[in-house]
Amino acid sequence: MRTRHSLLPIALSLLLSTACSGPPPEYRTAVSIKEIMDSIIDPNADYLWGSVSVLSTAKGFVEKSPKTKEDWYEARRRTISLMEAANLLQIPGRPVAQPGEKAANPGIEEPPEVIQTLIDSDRASWTQYTHGLYDAGLLMLKAIDAKKVQEFQAAGENVDKACESCHVHYWYPHQFDQPGNNVPSGSVRKRGP
């Protein structure tokens, strides 16, 4: 009987300390936005953009597009990966880059700390950009399910616009501020952040 009473304060103390510290974080965010772009978004978007093309050869034009059940299935898998990566980008607390990582193209791209500040200071805009990527993927998914090549290609252009508008806003917002640089923002596709 004496042992039961002596364990009660210890058990109560453990219970209270667990309740006060709260549950562990719902999401783990050790992987950076840049790593998600490099590992999930870029390879899947590149595959999808390359799925429909017209090449001029010595023998004439060669059209490439999904034709078989397997082709459409692979396009669908890649589109779903792209869409869900857009959700991964929205998780609060995810760093733009790993600690100490620098911009790949200094002078063109903002440093990761600046990008992080831009995202953190206006989460609503960041969410809107990620939703734009998701929505473009959703259009692509509908075209894939209907097996409509022209709609699939048009949706790919929407994915490109969603990516580029985000990059122009966060990664290189001053690239087109330079005198004499008349390149329209929609014409440059940036690979990765």
Q: What is the mean pLDDT of residues 129-150?
A: 97
Indicate yes or no: pTM above 0.85. no
Query: What domains lie within the chain, and their CATH numbers?
Result: 30-187 (1.20.120.10)
DSSP letters of 84-144? HHHHHHTSTT--SS-TT---SSBTTBPPHHHHHHHHHH-HHHHHHHHHHHHHHHHHHHHHH
Q: What is the C-alpha to C-alpha distance for residues 153 and 3, in angstroms, rounded to an integer?
A: 73
Average predicted confidence (pLDDT) for the chain: 85
Per the model's pLDDT, the better-predicted residue between 129 and 28 turns out to be 129
Q: What is the C-alpha to C-alpha distance for residues 189 and 164, in angstroms, rounded to an integer?
A: 6
Task: Provide the percentage of residues in the chain whose pLDDT is more than 90.
Answer: 65
* Predicted confidence (pLDDT) per residue in 81-133, tens digit: 999 999 999 999 999 999 999 998 888 899 999 999 999 999 999 999 999 99
* Least confident residue range of 23-32, 45-54, 74-83, 109-118: 23-32
Per the model's pLDDT, the better-predicted residue between 19 and 154 turns out to be 154
Would you say 102 and 110 are in contact if contact means Cβ atoms under 8 Å apart?
Answer: no
Q: Residue 97's pLDDT is what?
A: 97
Residue 74: pLDDT above 50? yes
